[in-house]
Amino acid sequence: MTCQCNARTLSVDTHPDAERVFIDLIRKAPVERRFRLVQSLTQSTLWANIRSWQERCAGNTEQEAAVRFVSFSYGEALAQHVQAALERQEHWHLQLIDLASVARSVL
């Protein structure tokens, strides 16, 4: 039985039928697959935010942009720890796994 009471979707640009199919596929996916999807979305969002900080503050290195992003999002105390950890890394380049490992090392 399908509910016809509300054709509103969670996404403003998605047809209700398409959204129902998508949600059904997500529900049926194994937990590992759902976790990888969330992890990928999180990493993409993190990367986009750091790139945005780098563009907003012209002349900043990737490292400086990453630290500014952490400071804005999570506070100055954590940003200082991240800054110190990044300074200990000899050849740091913006890669999501790098920033994630640095964050784990300071927590």
Name every residue whose Cβ is closer than 8 Å to that of residue 34 and which is 6 or more positions away in sequence. 26
pLDDT of 88 strictly over 70: yes
Q: What percent of the chain has pLDDT over 70?
A: 76
CA distances from 76 to 17, 79, 100 (A): 45, 5, 17
- The arithmetic mean of pLDDT across residues 35-41, rounded, is 84
| pLDDT for the residue numbered 103 | 58
pTM exceeds 0.75, yes or no: no
pLDDT band per the 50, 70, 90 thresholds, residue 5: very low
